[in-house]
Amino acid sequence: MAEAEGRSTEDVRREIATEREQLAGAVEDLRTGIGEAANLRGKLPLIAASALGAGFVLAGGVGATMRFFARRGRDGRERVKLGRFSVVDRS
């Protein structure tokens, strides 16, 4: 049957051996990748905290937080507010 397709038995055996070597190499690469993933698993809380902090800073969280505290620290009572403008009684 293999002869009818133009391939001899030896050709098929060579192809199988080549594919077997490639599969062994792929399995070894997979094992290496799993080992690296296991090493990262222990560092996951540190990585998550760093990502959260970086996201906060990049999203402008520091400026928004400072604006929030600066507004709350002002003296006086707000009498009238129109949009973002307000009249404050500081006496």
pLDDT digits (tens, 9 = 90+) for 49-87: 999 989 888 888 877 877 777 765 556 677 788 888 777
Are residues 59 and 51 in contact, defined by beta-carbon separation less than 8 angstroms?
no
CB neighbours of residue 82 within 10 Å: 7
d(CA 53, CA 59): 10
Q: Identify the top-confidence range among 19-23, 43-47, 63-67, 69-73.
A: 19-23
d(CA 84, CA 67): 14
pTM across the whole model: 0.37
pLDDT at 43: 80
Cβ neighbors of 91 (< 8 A, separation 6 or more) are none
Q: What is the DSSP letter of 44?
A: H
pLDDT at 83: 81
**If DSSP codes are grouped into helix, strand and coil, which group holds residue 6?**
coil
